[in-house]
Chains A and B, each alone.
Chain A
Amino acid sequence: MRTTSADLHTLTGAYAVNALSDTERAAFEAHLGGCGSCSQEVAELAATAARLGAAVESPPPPQLRARVLAAAAETRQVSPHVPKIADRRRLRWAGGLLAAACLAAVVVVTVQNVETSDERRLAQLSSEYSRFSDLLSTPDAKLISGTAPNGATGTAVVSASRDEALFLAKNLPQPADGKTYQLWLIGADGERSAGLVVPGSGPSVVTGLAGTERVALTVEPAGGSEKPTTVPVMSMSIV
């Protein structure tokens, strides 16, 4: 599996050119809410990238003009206010997202049918990543992500100073009947269970990282094992 680890503050460039995966993008946007210098840098680098866009001008087919104007005349504009979200943690996440200055509007999508799925995705992300946002704003937070050959992705946010990590797996296939996924912390002292992982559920919170070099995910008999009994389906270095 390919993994990558980064000091979050260095992701401003990749973010400004939309080169992050969806998961990393969402995690980085949560970080932006608590990091003024990144917000500022992202605004500048996005404006810089926009200049590259302006340099490849090419007129659209003329018939699109009337079509767009007619569609606009029949389309209600969104409210200028940030939507109210009852949950405080969601609100904080929404704040982080909106801090991405010029990117704020992209969470609202044009076409009706797209809007529904996008809003659902945002709601899902907001509950997942509100749990990340505290950790993401610690100065030494590291974002690690990897993609397994079957397309599943793992994302971990690790803060050594807080001795805490979050792990989130996406696109995990359902385990076979009688099997479960189990997360492990692996170091020189061996493996320690960090709990079972249910595909599609929220992030796992892991504390007590001392000596941990890798996190790994294995398939185990239902209920989990004392020690891993299969080859990891996903394994990421966190140091």
Chain B
Amino acid sequence: MPERERALQSLQSTPRDVGPTADDLLTLVARGDEAAFERLYDVVSGSVFGLIRRVVRDQAQSEEVFQEVMLEVWRTATRFDAERGSANAWILTLTHRRAVDRVRSAQAATHREDRAARLDPGRPFDEVSEQVDGKLEQRQVRRCLSFLTDLQRESVLLAYYQGYSYPEVASLLGIPLGTVKTRMRDGLIRLRDCMGVTG
């Protein structure tokens, strides 16, 4: 596993230098290549599960969503278009949508209200900060997050890691609905420019 983690790390930072990239693998998966799917699983399962776990929290539900997402990656790899973005971005976008769908489902609603009431808005960043020591990818995320204003950072992180809708974020932060939408956009734009993401 540590070896795989190292491979993942280098895949993320210098995608062209090591073996097949997630993009190469996903392209093979689109042709029904099960061996490529197995390798892709090893490359992306850590970030897929980590993100689901972060948003959904509950271990059993996270495992369910994880299996659904991985199977969806397999099923819909045929729709991946490498010209429109990286495989990692495609997979994690799908992952986030599914994780958020899960926490928004009626079943989870009451649970989440309690959570929202308890939540200290400062927490998500602190959690990231604790976790992000060490790895290059995480250090860069942390560094770039530090360039955001507090409201930008909190708006982005509450929505992304907690799966809150913008009205929920607005109510947690005590700011108008219109403000939270622009803070999310401004914050992500600042992150994009800092990370050099090209889409």
Contact = CB atoms under 8 A, between A and B. Distances in A.
Nearest to A76: B75
Contacts of B166: 14, 19-20
Contacts of A64: 45, 63, 66-67
A45 B189 CA distance: 7
B75 to A, nearest CB: 5
B191 A105 contact: no
B159 A110 contact: no
Chain B interface size range:
35 or more
A180 to B, nearest CB: 28
Contact of A17 (B75, B137, B156): B156
Interface residues of A, number: 60
B146 interface: no
B119 interface: no
B90 A105 contact: yes
B168 to A, nearest CB: 8
A59 B49 contact: yes
A60 B67 CA distance: 10
What's the dominant secondary structure at chain B's contact region?
helix
Contacts of B67: 64, 67-68, 71
A6 B137 contact: no
Nearest to B100: A18
A46 B89 contact: yes
Contacts of A13: 156, 181-189
Contact of B94 (A48, A69, A105): A105
Contacts of A68: 41, 67, 70-71
B197 A51 contact: yes
Interface stretch (A77-85, A189-197, A208-216, A224-232): A77-85
Given A55-B141, A59-B45, A106 B97 contact: yes
B141 A52 contact: yes
A53 interface: yes
Interface in A83-107: 101-106
A59 B141 CA distance: 19
Nearest to B94: A106
Nearest first, the 6 closest Cβ-Cβ pairs linking A and B are A13-B185, A58-B50, A105-B76, A44-B199, A13-B184, A50-B92
Interface of A: 2, 4-6, 10-14, 16-21, 40, 43-61, 64-65, 67-69, 71-73, 75-80, 101-106, 108-111, 147
